[in-house]
Amino acid sequence: MRSTATWVPVYSNRSLKRPHGTTLRAQRGDLLKEWAYLDTFDMLAPRHDFPQTRATLGRWLQEAGLEAVDVHYGHNGLEARARRS
């Protein structure tokens, strides 16, 4: 049996400043690891990111049979609310 190593890039954010002024070095190790995984995802995800317009998202929801569709820009992109008919 042959063993091979897998290399996975993980973003290192240990020296970044947090908004409240403390550095990440002051945070717990497991929290740092979780942030590193999330930052790595954010760094690699744009390749698979296909942004859509409000009109397109609204049309998809209506085509899915939903009613009272409300699509608007939220904190991190589009947000939508609708009801099943």
Whole-model pTM: value is 0.49
Predicted local distance difference test score (pLDDT) of residue 31: 77
**Distance, CA of 58 to CA of 70 (rounded, Å):** 7
Predicted local distance difference test score (pLDDT) of residue 70: 96
Predicted local distance difference test score (pLDDT) of residue 43: 79
Mean pLDDT of the chain: 78
Using DSSP's 3-state secondary structure scheme, residue 23 falls into strand
The phi and psi torsions of 72 (rounded to 5 degrees) equal -150, 165
* Amino acid identity, position 82: A
**Distance, CA of 31 to CA of 28 (rounded, Å):** 5
**Distance, CA of 7 to CA of 40 (rounded, Å):** 13
